[in-house]
């Protein structure tokens, strides 16, 4: 079963820096934590969404997402707006 985690972030500035660091540091970090894919989507002037998929529930549970989120929040002027996760029941 594939599991998807979605985290919505709101920044107070430095979006160019945040996006660059996300590509260089956080995508590889999340992938190394067991993700099968990760997408970071700019959803507004100062907002972004991270969509992470895991090929199985065990990988999702083993992922260090809380530690990674806390590290990103300390490194950048942004806060988590919401987090969701669940089993993928249909895709195309």
The strand order across the sheet containing 78-87 reads 37-44, 47-54, 3-11, 78-87
Partners of residue 10 on adjacent β-strands? 47, 79
- pTM of the predicted model, to two decimals? 0.85
43 contact partners, CB below 8 Å, separation of at least 6: 8, 49
Instruction: Measure the CA–CA gap between 62 and 38, rounded to whole angstroms.
Output: 16
Do 3 and 87 meet the contact criterion of CB atoms below 8 Å apart?
A: yes
Residue with tokens 């999340």: 30
Rounded CA separation 37/53 (Å):
5
pLDDT in tens, the chain (92 residues): 899 999 999 999 889 999 999 999 999 989 988 899 999 999 999 999 999 999 887 777 777 677 777 777 788 888 889 999 999 999 88
**Which domains are assigned to the chain?**
3-85 (3.30.70.100)
């Amino acid at each position: 079963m594939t599991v998807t985690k979605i985290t919505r972030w709101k920044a107070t500035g430095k979006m160019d820096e945040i996006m660059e660091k996300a590509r260089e540091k956080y995508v590889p970090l999340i992938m190394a934590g067991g993700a099968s894919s990760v997408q970071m989507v700019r959803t507004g002037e100062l907002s972004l969404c991270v969509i992470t998929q895991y090929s199985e529930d065990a990988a999702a549970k083993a992922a260090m997402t809380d530690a990674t989120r806390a590290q990103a929040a300390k490194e950048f002027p942004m806060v988590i707006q919401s987090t969701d996760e669940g089993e993928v029941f249909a895709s195309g």
